[in-house]
Structure 1
Amino acid sequence: MNLSRGVFSKIKRRLPLILVTSLSLTLFGCDSDSSSGTGYIQLYNLSSTAPDIYLTVDQYDDDDYDDTTYSGISFTGITSRLEYESDTYDIELAWQDEYNSSDLENIYEEQLVVSEDIVKFVVLTGDVRTPEVIDYEFSIRDEDEIEDDSDDEVFNVRLLNMAEDVGSVQLYYSESDESFNEAVLVNQAAYAEMSQNQKLAQDDLIFYITLADSDDVLFESQDISFSYAAEYIMVVRENTGSGTSPFILDILSTSSSTEYSDTNAEAEYRVYNGIVENVLLPDYLGVFDFYLDGIDATAEVSSLAFGEFSESIVSTSGDFSMSLVAPVADTTIVKNHLLSLTENTDTTVFFYLLEEAVDEDGDNDVDENGDGIVDEYEISVNSLVVNNSQSESIYSHQVNIINLIDEDEISDDFSNIKVYFVLSDETISTAGQSVGAVFATPASVQLLNNTYEVYVIGQLESSDVILSSTELVLGESSQDQFLILQKDDSSATGYKMVFANQAG
């Protein structure tokens, strides 16, 4: 019966070490004695603290047993619609707690009934240590309906409210050249409620979110183009970004998820001073003042010393120019570098120095007189803008490697530099987790919680040289990290690595 489509049917919460039993809040749709035919399973990972989640579907048929585990999906990701014969299946949700292992750590197990022409839409939400799993069901469109939708130039929308702490929400839309004053209500939904399907005319649309019985717009999307007779689930969820809007809108198709932030959302940024002192930059004495959109009476960041981060700064989104001033001499050392801030993002700007040999005649000879000394050097101060991870995952963490050691200095001595993350039962040669460190080019690795010995290795002809080493301990309370490589004249090798939280 149509009333069942889009109303949640089950909520299950996992208790530690105990198989979940399901609590039926409402029961609509097909019973377990489904007729023959095919239906679909689709998983949506909405647990912000979870790593990639793996779906396993187990099928028992007389004496035969078959299980299929699908690729892991990250936070806000979805599987495609997985086709299964009408039957009852055991499903498991799990995460990978060891590298390169087929063994998975289960967080949820339950039976799921697949019925003919029905999508079982399974949502994992809440804290991954005590997750909540909600399954919904709705009918697929038949060929006649798909053809009619195409002829009528409409698309299909269901609203799903997964913003737990705000109660009911309302979703509105307007055409791209209109405002909220002209907006039309799509639907209203309480927490964990999925609305019935609606058909909207294909167009470029703006979506708005308010609380129930309120005209205060708490979210406004950018223009979104709908050009096909497709079907979508509009998911309202809590904002995990830097902006003050309480919401993010995920638009789910039958196989992908796209995230939209409030178009008016703020952004955050901070600045890192990685500029080493150099005789060719005599006015710079290891500190700078940072200005946005021109040098005026007040710097956004004052007297930032080498090797330090500024505090995070909240800004409107948009494009800005950056300038640096050496405060003692009042000399501009950087002017009009671009900073582009996207709404709801968190960004770090790394400033660093590049020293290059001068090749005036372009013959690739920088020692024209043959005395073994480079004839001339020139320097430039450069900026590297990096988006910080905003992940809340507790079982794995990103390490983003930022190599600020001068490119010519490295290439003169080493053919390449690599960072190894070595577990207690590994050596550098057997380490499973490593990543190359290219000058001024971010490179990231995702690490499971554990204790690592971290080595920065430079390759010198046939030799591997340890440039720096330290211990890294990652646990559930850890944040995603930057690993910054830079010069350090006080160290034996002349180099060091520094870890810092990506979130300011």
Structure 2
Amino acid sequence: MVSRTLKSLIKLFAAVGVAAGLTACGGSDSSSDYSYAYIQFYNASPNGATVTMREVDGDDLGSAQFGDTTSLISADSGDLELEFIRTDSDDQEILLEEMTVNLSTGYKTLIVLSGDFSQPEFIEYKFERESLDDHFRLFVTSMMVDESQYDFYLAEDGDPFEAANYLGTVSYQELSEMTFWDPDDDSDDFDSGEYTIYLTEPGSTDVVFESQTLDFTYDTEYVLAIRDISGAIQAGMSVDTILNSSYVTNITDVDADAQYRIYNSTESTSPLTVTFGGNDGEEDTEFTLSAGELSDFTEIKYGDYRVTVQTEDGSATALTNKLITLNQGESKAIMIYEADGKLAAATFVESGLPQSYDKTVNFINLVSDFDNIDFYLVRSDETIDTADYYTMNLELAESSTLVLPSDYYEIIAVYEDENDEQVLLDRTALYGFTEEENYIVTVEPADTATGYEINVLY
């Protein structure tokens, strides 16, 4: 292997987000010569774990969850021996792959993990970087596990599909550079600006995916990866935009449905009636939840909804016209609780990460008596002082998220009194976060010795 000293992680672009388009800060290298080789890792396995890329017998080069990348790394040219690992619940490293890549000055090497995680595939792509001015280059690939192909269309300024330009068929694990249909005299590359992506089945004109209007602002190479959806919502597809930072923009189909589920944390002996009201002309959705009941996921068109919750016997003041916003491809949990005789609701978005190996757990305080509740996840050889996983100082209706290795944990909820002493609210026996589920952990009032209890929902 060629001897080298890896340079510091380079972020040529800082944050990239979607808000009516792709936005970022920073810009491309303005020089006419890229003086290093570049490497980046992207994780597209929808049932996998967080994966770390590192030099064999050398430095860690970054980790990536599903739908995420490492930062862009600069290095000298030559062979680089890599290994890819995950860490299990016993903190043991599991080797997934070893490979040698040949880095070339001025070129970017993109390593992509794709396919079923039980038989992971690590694919190497390589392209030359160019100095661009008011233009960008566009590469597209499909990482759908079913190996689907798609016809790729691009329209200017949010034009409809009928005005879109067909750029080619995107095949599984093949990285295709698209060609601009209207090149300038000084460049064959795409003009910077706003575009809309459309995908169809090969040879069809029925659109299966439409993006928002996206702003391709930066003078660089964009890589678009069509991928599966994971986590709470598992049907459909998304498109990831990979630039030269560790932040990946996820593009959702503008027509994708949302979903929600509702939990009744009250102790009311009278069931709750929940009414979801949509836009004018839409029928309301109504259902009933008993105390401690979690509804199934309900699929619904994205949009803004008014929610009313009331007890059948009127024992608590109703919650009326609570605004619940459900965006495209979003799964939201709605937690109904009672405080001072009034019904209220707390919401949070559930994770889109795979739950096969690592578990995404949402914690929420539904106790109105305390505003500084701490949760500890304590394994059999730990105490709360040595626990690796915990979340602190949750106020009423405040939620937080932890990503845990699949394992057994005792869940302990405490608060600190005015003397900064910890007071136990509740603790569970060892609980196995071992299923492929999106877990929710609550602490709420209950008829127990302490007056409170922890509940694990999924």
Q: What is the TM-score of this pair, normalised by structure 2?
A: 0.83
Report what 1:269 is aligned to: 260
2:222 counterpart SS class = strand
Return the match for 1:40 from 38, 44, 51: 38
In the alignment, the residues of structure 2 paired with residue 467 and residue 332 of structure 1 have an alpha-carbon distance, to the nearest angstrom, of 27
1:181 CA displacement? 0.4
- Please say if 1:425 is aligned against 2:361: no
Partner of 2:73: 82
Q: Secondary structure at the match of 1:181?
A: helix
Q: Which is further off, 72-81 or 195-204?
A: 195-204
Q: Distance in 1 between matches of 2:140 and 2:249?
A: 15
Q: Deviations over 1:109-139 (max 9, x none)?
A: 1111112322221101123332111111111
Amino acid in the other structure paired with 1:497: I
Q: Distance in 2 between matches of 1:298 and 1:425?
A: 53
SS at match of 2:62: coil
Task: Please report the RMSD computed on the Cα atoms of aligned residues, expressed in angstroms.
Answer: 2.6
Q: What is the correspondence of 1:111-190 to structure 2 with a 5 Å cutoff? A: 111-141=100-130, 146=131, 149-150=132-133, 153-165=134-146, 167-190=148-171
Aligned pair in 2 of structure 1 residues 302, 393: CA closer, same or farther (>3 Å)? closer
The letter of the residue matching 1:307 is G
How far is 1:342 from its partner? Answer: 0.5
Partners of 1:188 and 1:387 in 2: CA distance: 34
Shift of 1:85: 1.5
Cα deviation code 1:222-266 (max 9, x no counterpart): 111122322201111123377797321111112232111100111
C-alpha separation between the residues in 2 aligned to 1:167 and 1:392? 20
For the pair 1:410 / 2:370, whether they are aligned, the reply is yes
Report whether the alignment pairs 1:293 with 2:249: no
User: Which of 167, 192, 196 is 1:202 aligned to?
Assistant: 192
Q: 1:469 to 1:296 in 2, by over 3 A?
A: farther
Q: Write the mapping of 1:243-322 to structure 2, written as runs, cut at 5 A.
A: 246-255=236-245, 256-277=247-268, 285-293=269-277, 300-322=285-307
Q: Which residue of 1 aligns with 2:51?
A: 53
Q: Which amino acid aligns with 1:291?
A: T
- Give the gaps of 5 or more residues in structure 1: 1-36, 59-65, 278-284, 356-378
| 1:192 correspondence with 2:173 | yes
Contact 1:301 1:310 in 2 (8 A): no
> 1:107 is matched with which residue?
96
Structure with the higher helix share, 1 or 2? 1
Task: Tell me the CA shift for residue 499 of structure 1.
Answer: 0.3
Residue among 397, 403, 407 paired with 1:440:
397
Counterpart in 1 of 2:426? 468
Shift of the 202–402 alpha-carbon distance from structure 1 to 2, 3 Å rule, reads same
Q: Say if 1:228 and 1:38 are closer, same or farther in 2 by CA, change over 3 A.
A: closer
For residues 343-370 of structure 1, what are the alpha-carbon distances to aligned partners after superposition, in whole Å with 9 as ceiling and x for unaligned?
A: 1111111121222xxxxxxxxxxxxxxx
Within the alignment, does 1:237 sit opposite 2:221 as a pair?
Answer: no
**Compared CA separation, residues 452 and 331, structure 1 to 2 (3 A):** closer
Alignment correspondent of 2:83: 92
Bigger shift: residues 116-125 or 313-322: 116-125
1:208-219 equivalence runs, <5 A: 208-219=198-209
| 1:275–1:286 Cα contact (<8 Å) kept | no
Could you tell me which of 355, 373, 379 is aligned with 1:393? 355
Cα shift at 1:177:
4.2
Aligned to 2:309: 324
Moved more, 320-329 or 307-316: 320-329
2:446 aligned partner, one-letter code: D
* Aligned residue number for residue 371 of structure 1: none
Cα distance in 1 between the residues matched to 2:244 and 2:434: 33
- For 1:286 and 1:299, locate their aligned partners in 2 and report how far apart those are by CA, in whole Å: 22
Partner of 1:363: none
Q: From the superposition, tell whether residues 181 and 84 of structure 1 become closer, same or farther in structure 2 (CA, over 3 Å).
A: same
Q: Which residue of 1 aligns with 2:342?
A: 380
Q: Quick check: 1:418–1:457 contact (8 Å CA) kept in 2?
A: yes
In the TM superposition, residue 400 of structure 1 has moved relative to its aligned partner by 1.1
- 1:165 partner SS: coil
**2:458 counterpart of 1:498:** no
In the alignment, which residue of structure 2 is the partner of 1:340? 325
Which one has the largest radius of gyration?
1
Q: State the identity as a percent.
A: 25
Q: Which runs of 5+ in 2 are unaligned?
A: 1-34, 180-188
Q: CA deviation at 1:327?
A: 2.9
